[in-house]
A and B are shown apart, each in its own frame.
Chain A
Amino acid sequence: MDDRTAVIKDLILRHPGGSGGNDGLLRRVCGAAAQELAASGAGISVMTRDGVLGAAAATDPVSERIEELQFMFGEGPCIDAFASRRPVLISDLGDLVARAGGRWPFYAPAAHEDGLRAVFAFPLQIGAARLGVLDLFRDRTGPLTNSELTDALTFADVTVTALLDRQEQAGGRGVADIDDDAAGYRAELFQAQGMVMVQLGVTLGEAMVRIRAYAYAEDRRLSEVTRDVVARRLRFDRAEP
């Protein structure tokens, strides 16, 4: 885990956020991200159990409305980021509105009317496992700086981890402190996810949750566990992790 990741985890943990509730954590992510990235607001949408993407948290009522507008119209940066599996970075929404036949013919003018001038959507995903999208809203035009972009992507990574661990813990420890061991052999981490998915007959996201929970319970590094899985020294359908 690099220093900046640690700093961002800390920002999220220390952010006051809203009161309790299931999405207290996601509200804290939104609040910390908006503050750190000089955004006027932020929103998170997540994939529900029945496979539908829906708004889950926002910093404030205006951001909540801007987030919800996308689902009302069935179009917008968050929906595109989710479908294309990559960030959608719009530094001048007015430019889109002004262009005839531009992107998001319904969402863009409506959000612009609500004061939105720039929007940056980041998928919350690991490979083929998609959990949701983090949206940053600004009331002024202009791109994210390089360091803001790096931070935004890191906020997204940290949120993915938190969402995975939350599934296992039912709102337990929030932003996890498993050593992600980023310097390790990362290809093995992803290969192990695919293997455990098949072993257990579950989705890829569920496989990730199980691997992380195992590493946590056994107090082992994630990279060690995934190396054992790829080397076929550890199977999740037999070991009863």
Chain B
Amino acid sequence: MTIVSAERMAKIFVEVADTLVDDFDLIDFLHMLTERAADLVSAAAVGLVLADQHGRLEFMAGSNENVKLVELFQLQNHEGPCLEAFQTAVPVINVNLGEAHDRWPRFAPRATAAGFQSVHAFPMRLRTQVIGALNVFGGTKGGDFEDTDVPVVQALADVAAIGLLQERAIRRGELLTEQLQGALNSRVVIEQAKGAVAQAAGVDVDEAFAVIRGYARRHNRKLTEVAHAFVSDPAMLANNLHA
């Protein structure tokens, strides 16, 4: 991939700083980061996983949310770049998926079948802890990072981790656990809402996500809050499926 533009990078950090000031929705924030990261390095897809209390990696946000991509993240609980980056705390970069069938016998063929050629993963670090990973998929052959790109994308992964400590009470270590558990549960709410909308509107779950997200954006509301309304308020489902 190309060397990252300093100007675009600076714009992203300004946007991040703006978001972190206010009361914000963590899942929205992570979505924004994956979209910007994909744009920055011209990736085919970028996604982010967080570890739950059992160390299981849960998909939190992606530059797109189609079922195939989400499945690729779930697979990585057994093998794959995210799991390696999470376990070793070291980035996994420039892996050609076509040559990675021995390394990841289940993950590599599926990723190739989904149209990806290369893959990279960066640990999300917070002090001494690794709490998840940022996964970058390349769609063209030779989608390699330059040496200078690596710290830049790693910085984005670290920013994502900092987003978890949204308030200034960073001193209270327990806050991280509270935030992390809250975020994991928010992601579950989004999946439940996707199911409810898919059923009520007769669309697939990918389209259902677009409906939920579109509603949140049009009404300038938080994604998690809107998802929650779709599963707890029957009127919300009845009134908002064809907008």
Contact = CB atoms under 8 A, between A and B. Distances in A.
Interface in A196-213: 196-199, 201, 204
Interface string A63-88: 00000000000000000000011111
B231 A197 contact: yes
A194 B194 contact: yes
Interface in A170-217: 182-183, 185-187, 190-199, 201, 204
Interface stretch (A35-43, A107-115, A121-129, A133-141): A121-129
Contacts of B74: 185-187
B192 interface: yes
Given A128-B232, A150-B54, A186-B58, A194 B196 contact: yes
Interface string B175-197: 00111011001101101111111
Which label, helix, strand, loop or mixed, suits the secondary structure of the B interface?
Answer: helix
B238 to A, nearest CB: 10
B193 A4 contact: no
A126 B188 contact: yes
Interface in B174-225: 174, 177-179, 181-182, 185-186, 188-189, 191-200, 205
A195 B185 contact: no
A203 B194 CA distance: 15
A17 B234 CA distance: 39
Contacts of B56: 182
Interface of A: 2, 4, 84-91, 123, 125-129, 143, 149-150, 153-154, 182-183, 185-187, 190-199, 201, 204, 230
21 contacts: A85-B185, A86-B178, A86-B185, A87-B177, A123-B185, A128-B227, A143-B173, A149-B53, A183-B77, A191-B198, A193-B192, A194-B196, A194-B231, A195-B195, A195-B199, A196-B195, A197-B192, A197-B231, A204-B231, A204-B232, A230-B205
